Structure 1
Amino acid sequence: MHTAIWALVWFGLVFPAFAQEGAPSAVPVGTVNAERKPVSRNMEFVGRIEAPDRVEIRARVKGYLEDVLFKEGDVVKEGAPLYRIEQGLFEADVQQAQGALERSKAAYTLAVIQLQRAEDLLSKNAGTAVARDQARAMEQQAKGAVLADEANLRTAQINLGYTNIVAPITGRIGRSSVTKGNVVGPDSGVLATIVSQDPMYVTFPVSQREFLRQAETGSRTDPKSINVQIRFSDGATYDQVGRINFLDVTVDRTTDTVMARATMPNPRSALIDGQLVRVILEAGTPQEKIVIPQAALIADQAGVYVFVVEDGKAAIRRVKLGGEIGPGAIIEEGLSAGDQVIVDGLQSVRSGIPVRANPVSRTLNGM
């Protein structure tokens, strides 16, 4: 009897503890309401940024490099001085050519006078036709020498001008491959490269499958009316919208794609020549779609699902995806506008457990 009493006392003390442990407390989770948003029909491609103008700066004459007149990485204006080559020898060539031209002009003047005298003597029967013909030949030779010396002077002046290397376009200049004190010339290779900045091009290959799909749907969208957006490698979306300005006339036989190109504004130099980006084409009339943060998506062998809050408990909803739009996912089936979708605390959530919903702010605009 005594043992039974103690057993009842022990059971009365322990059972409430077990009861408390068996009733789990609600797990706090962050939720976002599924929203219905206007979504355009998108196509996404891998593209690369290209500068419309790209110039390699080279030396056109050989000489000692006196000065480098720019700062690497700066934007230079068209006509701005970049390099200066020693000018002494080229100035001497110009003076030499000027002296040769003066001599040839003097010889030409004398030849003209001698021809006139020979013609006068021949008209008075005091000279011969042979003498007149010789004087005419000398005059023509002197005239040819003047033309040749004028060309030599012009060449010397052009070479002197090449000692000042200037920017042929406006753009950002890269690293200089030479420094002051080196001898440069036509065989020195590229001294620096200038690329234009605004606007920029983005080129991307479009597969034949996409063209056929457009043909099957009967779509005849003007390529120039399609909005072009760019997404960077970190997921951020570029804040400028571009337009397609070129479709290649041939198909690449190795990849079965057509190269497309769009013009993108670049007022703040955010786009860099050679940069790899994602290209998003938006066409057609926007349609209302359910959009939720991609952070809410969970995948398993059966597909993709999310957790939603129903009657204070976590519940699984299988969803059908319709694509991505920035940080958001488009949901074709499985959710309705206003559903509370769990986005934070998913590691602690299981189907059917009590949860305490805490709304969080997630921006889905601008995607």
Structure 2
Amino acid sequence: MSRVTVARTAMVLLLGMLAVPALAQESAIPVTVVPAELKPVSDAMEFVGRVEAPERVDIRARVKGMLEAVLFKEGETVKEGAPLYRIEKPLFAADVQQAEGDVERAKSALELAKIQRERAEELVAKNAGTVVARDQAVAGEDSSKGALLTAEAALNTTKINLGYTDIVSPITGRIGRTAFTRGHIVGPESGVLATVVSQDPMYVTFPISQRDYLEAQKDEGKVDLSNVEVRIKFPDGAVYGEVGKINFVDVSVSRTTDTVILRADVPNPVGKLVDGQLVRVELKAGTPEERIIVPQAALIADQAGLYVFAVENGKAVVRRVKTGGAVGPGVIVTDGLKAGEPVVVDGFEALRPGAAVRAVPAAASLKG
């Protein structure tokens, strides 16, 4: 064998030896990993609830007349006592004047009756008059007093009716659409003119099963409402920034649904919560405990249950896990993982137990 042949053979063997590690590295499956995080977690329960305004008032006309003006903009916030509608006043003002005249006549009649009674008493004292005439005079004065009271009551009624021509908001809140516009004849039979709904705070009511309610009562036999945080989640998954407190527990259990109605008081400073809105209600209570959290994306299910792929010594290993509920985008792992273990969240589709992997940390850790 020539020197050239020997050199070529050695070169081929050397290149082959160098290529083995490179091929092994290229065969490793790239995966994205996130460490299993140890985070403080409070016990939480989630329910479906509905937003309710503490105050909701239907505005109605209390006297009949032509609607002279609509004094608000639909959808705006109105203050308590703010004018909303005005009904034409002339007929009601005329009723007040007429009633005032009736009061003056009644006063004059009472004055005359008083004089007649005094005169009749003087005559009886001088034995110049009869007792019957005196008694009639006394009765006439009493009747005049009653007539004056009736006239004054009628005057008050007309003044009240005149005041009802100015329809004002009884509460502070947002006002909805108006059912009538200027020029319509409105009255008590017209129904609701508009609705005012209070805004801050808002109530959130939600039913919980009797079983959950009894479970919550196990500690000292009583629910400590002061330690329960109420969080609101919208249908799109967004979490409401304000924290509420439970302010009411119903006094009975529904016979049809076997649930108890709870109500929370939730701040609503910018009006994000809307009356009638459907939301999810999360209750958190007790002292937070350290729990292992992994992203929901890391969980895989098969016939044996749930598992995740972890990375150990550059290889994929299966960890059978038990979970204990969701925390934001993550899941509590109660058994099967240790804090800090890298868990595969992307790229596990082609993984098999024992497969070589190239772990790449996720750009951001799990947010709770």
TMscore range, shorter length: 0.7 to 0.9
What does residue 260 of structure 2 align with? Answer: 258
What does residue 81 of structure 1 align with? Answer: 83
What does residue 203 of structure 1 align with? Answer: 205
2:273 is matched by which residue type in structure 1?
L
| In the alignment, structure 1 residue 191 sits paired with structure 2 residue 193 | yes
* TM-score in terms of structure 1 length: 0.87
| In the alignment, structure 1 residue 361 sits paired with structure 2 residue 364 | yes
Residues of 2 paired with 1:330 and 1:219: CA distance? 27
Residues of 1 paired with 2:95 and 2:366: CA distance? 70
Residue 97 of structure 1 deviates from its aligned partner by: 0.8
2:118 is matched by which residue type in structure 1?
Q
Residue 353 of structure 1 deviates from its aligned partner by: 5.7
What does residue 7 of structure 2 align with? Answer: none
Contact kept, 8 Å, 1:68 with 1:84, in 2: the verdict is yes
| In the alignment, structure 1 residue 249 sits paired with structure 2 residue 245 | no
Identity %: 61
Aligned-pair Cα RMSD in Å: 2.5
Contact kept, 8 Å, 1:97 with 1:152, in 2: the verdict is yes
What does residue 290 of structure 1 align with? Answer: 292
Residues of 1 paired with 2:138 and 2:220: CA distance? 80
Q: Secondary structure at the match of 1:305?
A: strand
Equivalent in 277, 283, 287 of residue 281 of structure 1: 283
Superposition map of 1:1-367 within 5 A: 25-214=27-216, 220-345=222-347, 352=355, 354-365=357-368
Residue 80 of structure 1 deviates from its aligned partner by: 0.7
Mean CA deviation greater in 153-162 or 341-350? 341-350
What does residue 5 of structure 1 align with? Answer: none
Q: Deviations over 1:187-207 (max 9, x none)?
A: 111111112112211111121
Residue 213 of structure 1 deviates from its aligned partner by: 2.6
Residues of 2 paired with 1:166 and 1:26: CA distance? 75
Residue 363 of structure 1 deviates from its aligned partner by: 4.8
Residues of 2 paired with 1:219 and 1:231: CA distance? 29
Q: Secondary structure at the match of 2:192?
A: coil
1:27/1:90 CA distance change after superposition, 3 Å:
farther
Residue 221 of structure 1 deviates from its aligned partner by: 4.2
1:189/1:362 CA distance change after superposition, 3 Å:
farther
Q: Deviations over 1:224-260 (max 9, x none)?
A: 3222222221222222222222111211111111111
2:204 is matched by which residue type in structure 1?
V
Residues of 2 paired with 1:260 and 1:327: CA distance? 26
Residues of 2 paired with 1:346 and 1:173: CA distance? 54
Q: Secondary structure at the match of 1:191?
A: strand
Residues of 1 paired with 2:296 and 2:238: CA distance? 14
Q: Deviations over 1:73-122 (max 9, x none)?
A: 22211111111111111111111111111111111111111111121122
1:91/1:224 CA distance change after superposition, 3 Å:
same
1:208 is matched by which residue type in structure 2?
Q
Residues of 2 paired with 1:84 and 1:297: CA distance? 64
Residues of 2 paired with 1:139 and 1:248: CA distance? 59
1:285/1:309 CA distance change after superposition, 3 Å:
same
Contact kept, 8 Å, 1:201 with 1:262, in 2: the verdict is yes
2:327 is matched by which residue type in structure 1?
I
Residue 62 of structure 1 deviates from its aligned partner by: 1.0
Structure 1 spans left out of the alignment, 5+ residues: 1-11
Q: Secondary structure at the match of 1:172?
A: strand
Residues of 2 paired with 1:276 and 1:133: CA distance? 74
The total of aligned residue pairs comes to: 349
Contact kept, 8 Å, 2:34 with 2:366, in 1: the verdict is no
